[in-house]
Homo-oligomer: A and B are copies of this chain.
Amino acid sequence: MADSADTPRAAGSPAPAAPGGPPPRYGTRPTMKDVAARAGVGLKTVSRVVNGEPGVTPDTERRVQEAITALGFRRNDSARILRKGRTASVGLVLEDLADPFYAPLNRAVEEVARRHGALLINGSSAEDAERERELALAFCARRVDGLIVIPAGGDHRYLEPEIAAGVATVFVDRPAGLIDADAVLSDSFGGAREGVAHLIAHGHRRIGFIGDQPRIHTAAERLRGYRAAMADASLPVDESWVSLGSTAPERVRAEAERMLAGPRPVTALFTGNNRVTVTALRVTARLPRPVALVGFDDLELADLLSPGVTVVAQDAARLGRTAAELLFRRLEGAGEAPRRVELPTRLIVRGSGELPPAGD
């Protein structure tokens, strides 16, 4: 009846007054009901076709498919999610989407999610605990199946109800604060210790350490690695050689210049992450003679500088991949106790770490 198949697209029936009073609907799109009406079949049959369920005759299926294309129908996944419970999506809270260190991690997580048929929602905390919280909880409200978090804050008890409710949660790069949860980390302590030991092996005694804010776990661990390496070699540490704080270029620049000046300057620098390393390199490049430097995190083009930059590299993609795989294993029901996975770092020798002490 009146199924004249010439309605060009007209998704929503214009009938304005339903008894319950429809709320103002913005993009009215065709629904399965519209498709069913047009194809002259039942609602459930459309659902079956859309989901590739068996039990539909080729002829019926064709009619439905035609109606779908004609109307430009696309299944509303919000409704589907509501009905099914699972969303096939994971949330990733990281520190800065634009940071070259986190970008490959992001990509690796996406890749694993894709293999599992899940979409990725993400956001940057900008190293702000409150924003991390907002993001993570917003993702939970969207009912992500799982959550991967690079912690900015130090207290993750706010996630307890979510985890209890079944949101698989894995922390990456830094451990969770005040709750027991899965975590995938790099060996910051061991990596820094190895990097600093490398400088010591090349004759350095006065080594500066510039790192991120001390409340950040990796920064603290790397400093601990620095101290361990110095202690291993029985070298004293003058506290003026150690500087933790913001990685803003101005601060790093000032600290590097301070350490490299004066009557007894440091002869080498160990820099605590990629952002610090870049700024430190800009400082040392201006000096009359090169300064030995080892940085945590690899840098693109590090091999092309002269000397090449010796770094302690983490495998960011592997961090992400490992975390995501752990997450999906949890989702598939692995109910063991929370695990902490620690991935090794790798010292990449390129020249800057092998320079001898300058005027010593």
Contacts and interface: CB of A to CB of B under 8 A. Distances in A.
A137 B74 contact: yes
Contact of A78 (B81, B98, B164, B303): B81
A130 interface: no
Interface string A179-223: 000000000000000000000000000000000000000000000
Contact of A100 (B86, B87, B103): B103
A288 interface: no
A148 to B, nearest CB: 14
A78 B306 contact: no
A306 B308 CA distance: 12
Nearest to A121: B121
24 contacts: A9-B160, A11-B165, A23-B85, A24-B85, A27-B166, A27-B167, A72-B160, A72-B164, A74-B137, A74-B161, A74-B162, A77-B143, A78-B81, A82-B82, A97-B107, A97-B110, A99-B103, A110-B122, A119-B139, A122-B122, A278-B300, A281-B304, A282-B304, A301-B301
A23 B83 contact: yes
A26 B161 contact: no
Contact of A85 (B26, B84, B299): B26
Interface string A50-75: 00000000000000000000001011
A72 B158 CA distance: 10
B85 A82 contact: no
Contact of A103 (B97, B282, B304): B97
Given A82-B78, A123-B120, A107 B96 contact: yes
Interface residues of A, number: 69
B164 A11 contact: yes
A140 interface: yes
Contact of A300 (B82, B138, B300): B300
Nearest to A316: B98
Contacts of A162: 72, 74
A300 B301 CA distance: 8
A356 interface: no
B97 A119 contact: no
Nearest to A105: B98
Please provide the 10 A-B residue pairs with the shortest distance between their CB atoms, ordered closest to farther. A72-B161, A27-B166, A98-B107, A97-B107, A77-B141, A103-B103, A98-B104, A78-B81, A98-B103, A78-B82
A25 interface: yes
Contact of A72 (B11, B74, B165, B281): B165
A72 B142 CA distance: 15
A307 B118 CA distance: 45
Contact of A84 (B23, B74, B122, B304): B23
